[in-house]
Structure 1
Amino acid sequence: MLKPALILLGLAGVLAAQGTRADYERAARMKALVTAELGQMALRPTWLEDGSAFWYRKGLPGGGAAWIRVEARSGARRPAFDHAALAAALARVTGRPVDAERLPLQDLAFLDGGKRLRFRTDEGWWSIDPRKGAVSPVQPPPEAPPAPRPDDDPPPRRTAAPVRSPDGLKTAQLRDANIVVRTLGGKELFRTQDGDTQNPYTGALDWSPDGRSLVAQRTTVVPVRKVTFVESSPKDQLQPKVHVHDYAKPGDPLPVVRPVLIRLEGGGRAFPADETLAPTPYFGYGEDLDIHWAKDGSRFFYVYNQRGHQVLRVIAVDAATGASSAVVDERSATFIDYSGKQFLDFLDDTGELVWMSERDGWNHLYLVDSRTGQVKNAITRGPWVVRRVLHVDREKRQILFLAGGLVPGQDPYQLHLARVGLDGAGLTVLTQGDGTHTVTLSPDRRAFVDVWSRVDQAPVAELRRTSDGARIAEVERWNPDALLKAGWRLPERFVAKGRDGRTDIHGVIYRPSTYDPARRYPVIEYIYAGPHGAFAPKAFTHQPLHADLTELGFILVCIDGMGTNWRSKAFHDVCWQNLGDAGFPDRILWMKAAAAHDPAMDLGRVGIFGGSAGGQDALRGLLAFGDFYKAGVADCGCHDNRMDKVWWNEQWMGWPVGPAYAEQSNVTNAHRLRGDLLLLVGETDTNVDPASTLQVVNALVKADRDFEMLVVPGSDHGTMRIPHVERRLKDFFVRSLLGVKPRS
């Protein structure tokens, strides 16, 4: 049965040809086309070790590929090797035909300056000299450790093996929870006596440059919370499996790691670190301190991150006395974004350090005297943010970095490469073009490859000089003709004022290929308001999840409201102990302004969906703003910040755990549900405790609220990319917002 509100809209064209089987089929075709075309636009340059050239894989129409080499000085382009000759050589050794435009090359590496290629096919690993054309089998390269994800903890530096001193005469080693120092001949020089199973020395050892001292680390061990879940349908057995893993949550006791200075002169002595400047350090399980010794061995430094993330210090410890002093003392009344905006680099020859801080309200770099702690000068300044430091040149005393908001008149989230002197002089923007820039520096940093685009402009790849930003050559320029001929519509960037009436809120609007401005379309927001980043797409090749929803008769929007990252500190601070806000006041104002701009946007029928923190946000929209949002899909949401991982939630909600945690919990507020809700959860989610979703279910049942739910057996974090779940999400919105039977 159609909803009354939709029946009243009647002949206005709202229901015609929306959510039908033809729409689903067109959506599938459009998704396949967009995925293929955008995949052809990817350019990932790999520089040769000497910086003389780089190579990249170029997608060809129809799914083929070619490998191109570009010379750094001239920008001259040519095939990286003879594709036909390699195809013929591979055919000879594999005994099957090989298409020169579809070479089955995986893990390709250019060795010896490009004189030799190593690659993998389904048959094994191979090497070829492009000049001779002969392919020969080779042993696979040593396995590299997996690249860390942004949310991974740093790998521990612990080792049971002896660590040799810089003078090569001594070793230090962890033994029975203590540290033993010996000569190379095995004579014991010093042994700690106070380590035990509850307070062991960890084994992360850092010798002083002169070999007279070393820093060991001692850990206070605490119980680790365990999360248990049941895998109902394991692949290797009939009966369910029970899984248990370590998972600290907000407020849990955490290990405490402190440095211990060991001086070897006079028979040896251990100096435990003074706790006055470091009373409540924050550490995850398995983490170590990152120790940096002064060049002369007179002091060592470490970073103290106070639990609650409102104090961040660089502490210096005198190697002669063990006395501690604060070289940098960063404080915030809200939070310090240690996970996204921390940068520290020691300039040992000059006794300086480069430090990142939001102390003036924007994320910038500062030059600090590492002896006195005095700020010598701000390196960068202005109403824009440093996003990432790429290189500190000690000889030229310059820094290469990526920044957002640096170019006036452009979207403040767009990244540009810039250079500045350590004295703050000579700020130069090295990238050109109104778009967001992905930069790959050559190993010698004399040149860089710049791939830039916007959501409404296809990518351009350029080779530029780092000295002045001058363009050496245009490498590639893509166009979206195939997409446009198929009816795909360029997304629209849209800006409206936020809740304060002054701040620009940026977002993107996606419309169907069948868009008719005379019709009315329900609006669906794809949300992720995690404060660690900003998420509305900026690059042409970045498509939001399920952008093909538009083809079913919807307009899709993505918005970055207040409380998300990469604007001013005040913009970011909106999230402080306030994750339930999720920028909704700004998002709703933005959509109202967008609907005034485009009356085809029907704000009487607004849906919302997201995963993880976005799942938390999607449900929050129905609980706190149910007068605006009429339907939502929440996937693997961290619905109660007391139930989720410790580091992410204490970063934004604070520590100790206070009343804001419960006040903004989706569980606490479940009785306020309005609108249609579909809950999704992965049965074996190791990122967010699946019980977080089930506790929402419990509260909804107790409040007698109607909802739908899908538990996906065997799925880890994030289920919306699973084909069945994707269909269920689309069907849900078609039923709820269009009021029709899917694929009818």
Structure 2
Amino acid sequence: MKSWLLIPACIVLSLAARGQGTVEDYRRAVASHKAYRDKVWHAPDKFTWLERDAAFWYIDQSAQGRTYILADVAKRTQKPMFDHAAMARALSAQLHKTILATNLPLKAVVLAADKRSITFEADSARMECQLPACRCAVKGVITPPGKGGYWNDPFDERNGKPVRSPDSAWVAFIRDDNVFIRSRKTQEIFRLSYDGSGGNFYASHMTWSPDSKKLVAYTVRPGQERTMYLLESTPSDQLQPRLQQRHYLKPGDALPHKRPQLFLIDSKKHVPVSDSLFRDQYALEEIRWTRDSRYFTFEYNARGHQVYRVLQVDGQTGRVHTVVDERSDTFIDYSGKRFRHDLADGTQLFWASERSGWNHLYRYDVATGKVINAVTSGHWVLREVVHVDEARQRIIFRALGMDPGQDPYLAQYAVVNFDGTGLRRLTLSDANHVASFSKDYTYFVDHASRADLPPVSRVYDIETGREVMPVQQADITALQQAGWRAPEVFSAKGRDGQTDIWGVIIRPSKMDEGRQYPVIEMIYAGPQDFYVNKSFNKDYMRLHVLAELGFVVVQLDGMGTSWRSKAFHDVCWKNLKDAGFEDRIAWIQAAAKKYTYIDARRVGVFGGSAGGQNAAGAVIFHPEFYRAAVASCGCHDNRLDKMWWNEQWMGYPIGPQYAASSNVVHAGKLGGKLLLIVGELDDNVDPASTYQLADALIKANKDFELVTVPGMGHSGGGEFGERKRWDFFVRHLLQREPPAWEDSYPGK
């Protein structure tokens, strides 16, 4: 038996006397969930600018209630947008119930440009109120939105309407899988294509040139169909179970093949377009004509995501020319970092790329396919292009990591000229900045905060960079009085001993530094983003509540996640089992070395979706460190999950790397305690992924727990799952039998 397995026995006696995971801790945790809620005043984070004026409105939350504030930047004033008491009286009369002035139920608010009226939704009514008198009238009844389609349904290539030419002279349509046009003047019909068939049909989604003399249509060779089945055990409208099904492509499945074709209207000629530069397709999209109708462009994403091209087709000859040829030895992060902007004259475009090892922006000459210049550069990343200002020849953008030594995930804003000169910072402070820009990009509201820094909002002039006026400064007095302790932003070296890994540490409100506290990590290592929230008081409340049971709770972003260098990101490629665990372990050990009350010998982990895969992987691939894991709705074998996400990181074709990263294949290595949670109606990650892991664990003679939640989709199990998670960690990390639910959740 390993020596660390003997340690909890001696700890249990002291815990039993001192208390961690007791009924009192449970009750305090439950109470804190409510106590911490809505205790931050004067911290608006959404600002709506008016169309024509240098003015915006926002909602200010105080201890007294909500106030709608109108800020006039030109006059440097702020005042209520309307008389709240009068508005409450008007709504009470219209809705036939009491409405409080401090809690107006306004949604989808639109303030008129002249500020003399306001429209909004309240209950099921769309209302308009004249200002300042607050004379309100119902303008319509809100129809509940219909049930939307399933997010993973394939695009219907056949079900488009006929397409009218810009000059309204022609209508293009599909008949018998081929392209036809009809003269709107004479009603005469002309057939343009003859090569369409049921197995290679023309899609109904066609694109006319601006001069109405050319038409692009594309053939589609259908791909594979795959259906995922879900059994709804307890439908609300009938006694018997119901079988549900979803369209759900998985890694390796065959995809449709598209071929754009050109048609010249005056001569009724079909000009073939060679597919030699876009044969092995994952996707082909974004067909756009240039303003002068000389060319059209489209984007080609190769299967495996190691080649991505912007292709241009001559509008007379059909010759294909490469404008952008993006390549990577690992993967192109098309799903997270793709950005393209075509200048209005069609001669240049801007394109984001990680070719330098960092995500940056480049300016291209469309005619030659050559890079004119790098617009941004450096050991930091372009996160978002906010605005391309063609008149001023400049770009406003958001970036991460611009300040060495600071948290590299903190967002800053800057402006730069098209030619890469004149880079100027718009924000400077050591905080996460979220900017809201006026319609003419003259001003912006800067909402600055960190996990440990309450937000401050100010208006700045973009041209001068000067502060114009303060907006609000948060007051967290009530939150602190409720017992809340700010997270600590903590960094430590990763696996290479050089790279800083960043995260947060959350402690119990009544922590005794003389005790030892087990660690629970909330994990999500999906490569599409980073996950430690950088703004104040966002997403951390559930972690504060968990800490109240007697844990130190942490969250961090290890290698393999996004928005650092390309090398940092590439750790995930064909290797999702890595999940940054070596960095996470080093980080937690560094925290335990700094704080003696952190017990790095008792570490638990939980997560959902990709985080569920990571959590189970912790006790399968690293049981020497992680003692207990709760894995919810996990994609435990990437071959069972949806195609787009898994092929993006694990590659194509399907090779041995998929089995190497599979929790199912390696289930026999389980060395810690494991709780699996899955919703029976999860149509994001196939529930079979969890069930196959359970089957493999059973066959490997491994002890584990499995909770299936009836009627639930992709989630951590809801409140029921949260309780099971609490009890699991108390039992296996604190070595204490959890209290009865009726005692620990009073009133439930």
How high is the TM-score relative to the length of structure 2?
0.94
Q: Distance in 2 between matches of 1:707 and 1:654?
A: 31
Q: Indicate the larger mover: 600-609 or 157-166.
A: 157-166
Tell me if structure 2 keeps the 8 A contact 1:200–1:219.
yes
Residues 275-334 of structure 1 show CA distances to partners (whole Å, capped at 9, x for unaligned) of: 211121113xxxx62112122212111111000000011111111111112111111000
Q: Distance in 2 between matches of 1:144 and 1:212?
A: 40
Query: Counterpart of 2:88?
Result: 87
Q: Give the drift of 1:51.
A: 4.2
Q: 2:607 aligns with which of 592, 610, 623?
A: 610
Determine helix, strand or coil for the equivalent of 2:281. coil
Q: Distance in 1 between matches of 2:33 and 2:336?
A: 33
Equivalent runs, 1:363-442 vs 2, <5 Å = 363-442=359-438
Q: Distance in 2 between matches of 1:75 and 1:388?
A: 29
Q: Distance in 2 between matches of 1:210 and 1:260?
A: 17
Q: Distance in 2 between matches of 1:462 and 1:38?
A: 18
Query: Counterpart of 1:729?
Result: 725
Q: Give the drift of 1:158.
A: 7.4
Q: 1:645 aligns with which of 629, 636, 642?
A: 642
Q: Indicate the larger mover: 27-36 or 356-365.
A: 27-36
2:56 counterpart of 1:54: yes
Query: Counterpart of 1:130?
Result: 131
Change (3 A) 1:9 1:561: same
Residues 47-72 of structure 1 show CA distances to partners (whole Å, capped at 9, x for unaligned) of: 2222432111122216x211111113
Identity of aligned residues (%): 44
Tell me if structure 1 keeps the 8 A contact 2:527–2:649.
yes
Q: What letter matches 1:739 in structure 2?
A: Q
Determine helix, strand or coil for the equivalent of 1:290. strand
| Alignment gaps of 5+ in structure 2 | 741-748
Q: Distance in 1 between matches of 2:491 and 2:344?
A: 45
| Aligned alpha-carbon RMSD (Å) | 2.2
Query: Counterpart of 1:194?
Result: 195
Q: 1:625 aligns with which of 617, 622, 625?
A: 622
Change (3 A) 1:146 1:85: farther
Tell me if structure 1 keeps the 8 A contact 2:42–2:474.
no
Tell me if structure 2 keeps the 8 A contact 1:386–1:403.
yes
Q: What letter matches 2:27 in structure 1?
A: E
Q: Give the drift of 1:104.
A: 2.5
Tell me if structure 1 keeps the 8 A contact 2:157–2:203.
no
2:477 counterpart of 1:481: yes
Query: Counterpart of 1:264?
Result: 265
2:63 counterpart of 1:67: no
Q: What letter matches 1:214 in structure 2?
A: L
Q: Give the drift of 1:469.
A: 2.9
Query: Counterpart of 1:101?
Result: 102
Query: Counterpart of 2:746?
Result: none
Q: What letter matches 1:575 in structure 2?
A: C
Q: Distance in 2 between matches of 1:296 and 1:123?
A: 47
Query: Counterpart of 1:306?
Result: 302
Residues 683-704 of structure 1 show CA distances to partners (whole Å, capped at 9, x for unaligned) of: 0000000000000010000001
Q: Distance in 2 between matches of 1:483 and 1:576?
A: 42
Q: What letter matches 1:217 in structure 2?
A: Y
Equivalent runs, 1:482-497 vs 2, <5 Å = 482-497=478-493
Tell me if structure 2 keeps the 8 A contact 1:508–1:537.
no
Residues 481-509 of structure 1 show CA distances to partners (whole Å, capped at 9, x for unaligned) of: 22222221111111111111111111110
Tell me if structure 2 keeps the 8 A contact 1:521–1:601.
yes
Q: What letter matches 2:672 in structure 1?
A: G
How high is the TM-score relative to the length of structure 1?
0.95
Q: Distance in 2 between matches of 1:147 and 1:370?
A: 39
2:237 counterpart of 1:236: yes
Q: What letter matches 2:734 in structure 1?
A: L
Tell me if structure 1 keeps the 8 A contact 2:453–2:536.
yes
Query: Counterpart of 2:689?
Result: 692
Q: Distance in 2 between matches of 1:679 and 1:559?
A: 22
Q: 1:575 aligns with which of 555, 572, 584?
A: 572
Tell me if structure 2 keeps the 8 A contact 1:455–1:538.
yes
Q: Distance in 1 between matches of 2:677 and 2:200?
A: 42
Q: Distance in 2 between matches of 1:266 and 1:112?
A: 50
Q: Indicate the larger mover: 540-549 or 128-137.
A: 540-549
Q: What letter matches 1:658 in structure 2?
A: G
Q: Distance in 1 between matches of 2:373 and 2:564?
A: 22
Q: Give the drift of 1:162.
A: 2.6
Change (3 A) 1:152 1:351: farther
Q: Give the drift of 1:157.
A: 8.8
Change (3 A) 1:423 1:142: farther
Tell me if structure 1 keeps the 8 A contact 2:41–2:62.
no
Q: Give the drift of 1:669.
A: 0.5
Q: What letter matches 1:281 in structure 2?
A: Q
Tell me if structure 2 keeps the 8 A contact 1:41–1:541.
no
Q: Indicate the larger mover: 674-683 or 180-189.
A: 180-189
Change (3 A) 1:125 1:39: farther
Q: Indicate the larger mover: 493-502 or 378-387.
A: 493-502
2:726 counterpart of 1:715: no
Q: What letter matches 1:731 in structure 2?
A: D
Q: Give the drift of 1:433.
A: 2.2
Residues 139-189 of structure 1 show CA distances to partners (whole Å, capped at 9, x for unaligned) of: 14788999999x979977976333222233222123332221121122124
Residues 347-401 of structure 1 show CA distances to partners (whole Å, capped at 9, x for unaligned) of: 1426111011000100000001000011110000000000111111111111111
Tell me if structure 2 keeps the 8 A contact 1:257–1:289.
no
Q: Give the drift of 1:417.
A: 1.4
Q: Distance in 1 between matches of 2:159 and 2:113?
A: 33
Q: Indicate the larger mover: 465-474 or 229-238.
A: 465-474
Q: Distance in 2 between matches of 1:429 and 1:103?
A: 39
Q: Give the drift of 1:233.
A: 0.5
| Alignment gaps of 5+ in structure 1 | none
Q: What letter matches 2:413 in structure 1?
A: L
Q: Distance in 1 between matches of 2:275 and 2:57?
A: 52
- Deviating runs (4+, > 4 A) in structure 1? 10-15, 140-149, 151-159
Query: Counterpart of 2:442?
Result: 446
Q: Indicate the larger mover: 151-160 or 595-604.
A: 151-160
Q: Distance in 1 between matches of 2:584 and 2:292?
A: 54
Count residues in correspondence. Answer: 734
Q: Distance in 2 between matches of 1:661 and 1:339?
A: 20
Query: Counterpart of 2:224?
Result: 223
Tell me if structure 1 keeps the 8 A contact 2:506–2:547.
yes
Q: Distance in 2 between matches of 1:437 and 1:65?
A: 24
Q: 1:503 aligns with which of 499, 504, 515?
A: 499
Query: Counterpart of 1:668?
Result: 665
Change (3 A) 1:227 1:15: farther
Q: Distance in 1 between matches of 2:147 and 2:113?
A: 25
Query: Counterpart of 1:114?
Result: 115
Tell me if structure 2 keeps the 8 A contact 1:563–1:583.
yes
